[in-house]
């Protein structure tokens, strides 16, 4: 085993063991009774969007079963084949390899696991669509790879286009236009009434990306299809859900960090038989359960959860919501988009933020819209549009003892109709907090 592989194995093992920390600590079930997701109707068209094979089972297996019982139609679209989970590969295959073909092999393994799991729940292979975009790379594509001469190239797999011959997107370059056009086509053809998608506050980058691509796709399709109802399911949140392992006697509550958020959660109850089938469907993902069964099985409980932030609409008035550490305020003023972060503790030069601002305009193709990232460190800041540094951007930055203010001209954002925005806070290189992506209407 060479030194690189040895270091990789140690690194992945640390991540795995870290994921097991606090297994015995229970969720804080301090939530009021959540409203219920309504029943499905005959001939409804339900679309499940899964970042990776297994997300559809652990997040929506109950939904799939009840929709089929109601004689609704169900379709599942997978953004990736999940071919970048090195730890799962090591445990499942009992070997370490960096060869390109082995990553494609793992993606094929996960595809077959999904087909068998969904067949067990009542779906056929014809109900499943595998797009095959890069696992752990789709958020980078959304941020930086539009109209790019060179598509995104995965550093580990060394692949830059969809490598799966059985996928409808085979050969498509790893670019934002490819993913967006695939989603638009699938949604336009299927015309779903309800869409279930990964959550905007999920810490997994592919989960964030799929939510963002969906928002853009639905905006592009506005007026072309009836507007579907969208339900977001959360999978990755630090320290949640607890206790780990299989606990069919327990309910699933939202993470306590969202207790004071504005997320509109709804609960979807499962019968004992549906819960048992969800658990058994998860077992089909052997490549994942051999390393992460303690985590995957913790979603097999009495209910499933769905919820999203409401849209924020700015009309010259400040709109505020709280994250777990302090307060973030958004406002529209004098042709500027304003963000203010207040902290109870003193901010020092080691404190910084990473702010994402993705504008959408009906009059401009999303590929042509700026993809703005602003990175601050102490009282300094940098502005990027995709991969390019932007100078003289007209951004105003004010860094004080207990607050941080950024004013960004709407011109820099492409004069958008709305903005998809998220903020991550850092102390040095350590991430200490983050907000989920919010849709902020500005016109």
pLDDT at 9: 42
**What pLDDT was estimated at residue 3?**
41
| Entry pTM | 0.91
* Statement: residue 16 has pLDDT above 50: no
Higher-confidence residue of 427 and 368: namely 368
User: What is the per-residue pLDDT for 168?
Assistant: 94
Residue 61: pLDDT band with limits 50, 70, 90:
very high
Q: What is the pLDDT of residue 429?
A: 73
Domains of the chain, CATH where assigned: 20-308 (3.40.50.10320), 312-441 (2.60.40.1190)
pLDDT(146) > 60: yes
Q: Where residue 182 falls among pLDDT bands split at 50, 70, 90? A: very high
Confidence of residue 91 (pLDDT cuts 50, 70, 90): low
- 294 or 427: whose pLDDT is higher? 294
What integer pLDDT is reported at residue 290 of this predicted model? 85
- Give yes or no for residue 317 having a pLDDT over 60: no
Q: What is the pLDDT of residues 233-284, one digit of tens each?
A: 999 998 999 999 999 999 999 998 887 788 999 999 999 999 999 999 999 9
State yes or no: pLDDT of 399 exceeds 60: yes
Mean pLDDT of the chain: 87
Average the pLDDT over 157-186 and give the result. 96
Residue 86: pLDDT band with limits 50, 70, 90: low
pLDDT tens sequence across 318-371: 554 444 434 788 999 889 999 988 876 777 778 889 999 999 999 999 999 999
Assign 3-class secondary structure to the chain. Answer: CCHHHHHHHHHHHHHHHHHCCCCCCCCCCCCCCCCECCCCCCCCEEEEEECCCCHHHHHHHHHHHHHHHCCCEEEEEEEECCCCCHHHHHHHHCCCCCCHHHHHHHHHHHHHHHHHHHHHHCCCHHHEEEEEECCCCHHHHHHHCCCCCCCCCCCCCCCCECCCCCCCCCCCECCHHHHHHHHHHHHHHHCCCEEEEECCCCCCHHHHHHHHHHHHHHHHCECCECCCEEEEECCCECCECCCCCCCCCCCCCCCHHHCCCCCEEEEEECCHHHHHHHHHHHCCCHHHHHHHHHHHHHHCCCEEEEEECCCEECCCCCEEEECCCCEEEEEEECCEEEEEEECCCCCCCCEEEEEEEEEEECCECHHHCCEEEEEEECCEEEEEECCEECCCCCCEEEECCCEEEEEEECCCCCCCCEEEEEEEEEECCEEEEECCCEEEECC
């Amino acid at each position: 085993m060479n030194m690189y592989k040895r270091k990789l194995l140690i690194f992945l093992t640390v991540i795995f063991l870290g994921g097991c920390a606090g297994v015995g600590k229970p969720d804080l079930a301090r939530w009021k009774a959540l409203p219920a997701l309504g029943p499905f109707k005959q001939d409804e068209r339900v679309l499940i969007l899964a970042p990776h094979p297994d997300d559809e089972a652990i997040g929506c297996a109950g939904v799939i079963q009840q929709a089929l019982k109601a004689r609704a139609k169900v379709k599942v679209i997978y953004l990736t084949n999940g071919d970048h989970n090195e730890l799962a590969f090591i445990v499942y295959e009992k070997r370490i390899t960096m060869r390109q073909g082995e990553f494609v092999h793992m993606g094929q393994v996960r595809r077959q696991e999904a087909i068998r799991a969904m067949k067990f729940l009542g779906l056929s292979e014809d109900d499943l669509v595998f797009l095959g975009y890069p696992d752990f790379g789709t958020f980078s594509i959304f941020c930086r790879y539009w109209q790019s001469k060179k598509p995104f190239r995965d550093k580990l797999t060394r692949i830059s286009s969809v490598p799966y011959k059985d996928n409808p997107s085979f050969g498509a370059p790893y670019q934002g236009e490819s993913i967006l056009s695939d989603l638009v086509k699938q949604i336009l053809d299927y015309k779903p009434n309800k869409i279930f998608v990964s959550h905007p506050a999920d810490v997994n980058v592919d989960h964030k990306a799929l939510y963002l691509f969906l928002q853009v796709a639905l905006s592009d399709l506005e007026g072309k299809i009836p507007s579907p109802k969208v339900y977001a399911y959360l999978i990755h949140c630090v320290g949640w859900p607890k206790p780990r392992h299989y606990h069919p006697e327990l309910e699933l509550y939202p993470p306590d960090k969202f207790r004071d958020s504005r997320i509109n959660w709804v609960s979807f109850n499962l019968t004992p038989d549906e819960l048992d089938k969800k658990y058994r469907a998860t077992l089909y993902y052997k490549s994942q359960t051999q390393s992460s069964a303690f985590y995957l099985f913790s979603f097999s409980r009495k209910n499933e959860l769905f919820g999203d932030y409401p849209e924020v609409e700015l009309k010259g008035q400040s709109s505020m919501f709280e994250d777990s550490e302090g307060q973030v305020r958004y406002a529209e003023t004098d042709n500027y988009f304003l963000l203010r972060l207040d902290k109870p503790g003193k901010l020092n030069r080691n404190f910084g933020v990473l702010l994402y601002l993705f504008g959408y305009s009906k009059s401009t193709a999303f590929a042509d819209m700026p993809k703005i990232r602003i990175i601050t460190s102490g009282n300094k800041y940098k502005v990027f549009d995709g991969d390019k540094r932007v100078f003289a951007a007209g951004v105003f930055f004010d860094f004080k003892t207990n607050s941080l203010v950024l004013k960004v001209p709407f011109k820099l954002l492409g004069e958008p109709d709305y903005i998809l925005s998220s903020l991550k806070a850092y102390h040095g290189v350590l991430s200490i907090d983050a907000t989920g992506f919010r849709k902020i209407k500005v016109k």
